[in-house]
Structure 1
Amino acid sequence: MKLTIYYDGQFYVGIVETVDGNTLRAYRNIFGPEPNDQDVLEFIYSDLLSLIERNKQKGLIADQDIQKKINPKRLQRIVSKEIKQAGVSTKAQEAIKEQYDLRKKEKVMKNKQLRDKQKQDKREKKILKAKNKHRGK
């Protein structure tokens, strides 16, 4: 499990990455304007497990890299490149995006069903009203 905290321009955001076997799952938490150490520790001790349990999601397949001896100069280049990076892995961003798209599709389907039901109810009321008019009531 890995927690990465970064500043997105407005708020500090924490990305939690978990790897189970070969499945990568990522979760996002917004800390606010400027969290202190106490806020982060409170999140880790109390809110982290509930966040993971609440957001059961399908993960991405993580690549298992085979570690072999790396040239020290190459290692130094890799480390400096990672330090310059924004901090969130692309796989984590991909997992969050997939979860967001899934929730969006569910919401669109739910809203469509609600609209169809409202149209059907309105049509039934209109038909009933027309029948009552013809009966002379």
Structure 2
Amino acid sequence: MEQGYARITVCFEAPFWIGVLEREWGGTLEVCKIVFGAEPRDYEVYAFLVSHWRELRFSPPVTGVRRAEAANPKRARRKAGQQLRGGVGTRAQQAIALQREQNKRKRREDRRRRDEAEEARRFQLRRQKKKEKHRGR
């Protein structure tokens, strides 16, 4: 049976509080960045996740090997403290950057299509006006 996990990290990046939701399944990691306004409480984060889970847009999956957890309790405690201070992991940052690039590429393509359609519409309008001017000749 294959197992997966989901983890959310909420941290402050001036001027907003953001949440980075990581989910791992089958050796791949997907990340979603959520922007909160004011500092969210635990129950607000939970309510947001419950009500908006299906609407979240995750990054494309990033493959990577997950390290085994350390058995030493002192090391585990130190690692937990580092995670509290450090915020988001590097794999998560890579996944967010990949998602940002794909969104940027999609916006460019959409804008290009819109501009071409607008230019074609203007050309047809100019052509139509030209024909109307020479109607009686």
Given that 2:20 and 2:88 are in contact with CA atoms closer than 8 Å, whether structure 1 keeps it comes out as yes
* CA deviation map 1:7-49 (0-9, x unaligned): 11212111111001111001111222222233123124333x2
Q: Secondary structure at the match of 2:129?
A: helix
Paired residues in the alignment total 131
User: Structure 1 CA distance, aligned partners of 2:82 and 2:34?
Assistant: 22
Matches within 5 A, 1:10-25: 10-25=15-30
Matches within 5 A, 1:76-87: 79=79, 82-83=82-83, 85-87=85-87
User: Could you say which structure has the greater relative contact order, defined with CA pairs below 8 angstroms and 6 or more residues apart?
Assistant: 1
* CA deviation map 1:47-76 (0-9, x unaligned): 3x2244xx2542110223356777x7xx48
Gaps of 5+ in 2: 1-5
2:54 partner amino acid: S
Matches within 5 A, 1:19-58: 19-47=24-52, 49-52=53-56, 55=57, 57-58=59-60
Deviation at 1:131, TM superposition (A): 2.0
Is residue 2:8 matched to residue 1:3?
yes
Given that 1:4 and 1:14 are in contact with CA atoms closer than 8 Å, whether structure 2 keeps it comes out as yes
RMSD: 2.8
1:11 partner amino acid: F
Q: 1:60 aligns with which of 55, 59, 62?
A: 62
User: Structure 2 CA distance, aligned partners of 1:62 and 1:43?
Assistant: 29
2:32 partner amino acid: Y
Identity of aligned residues (%): 23
Given that 1:10 and 1:33 are in contact with CA atoms closer than 8 Å, whether structure 2 keeps it comes out as no
Gaps of 5+ in 1: none
Given that 2:31 and 2:58 are in contact with CA atoms closer than 8 Å, whether structure 1 keeps it comes out as no
Give the structure-2-normalised TM-score: 0.78
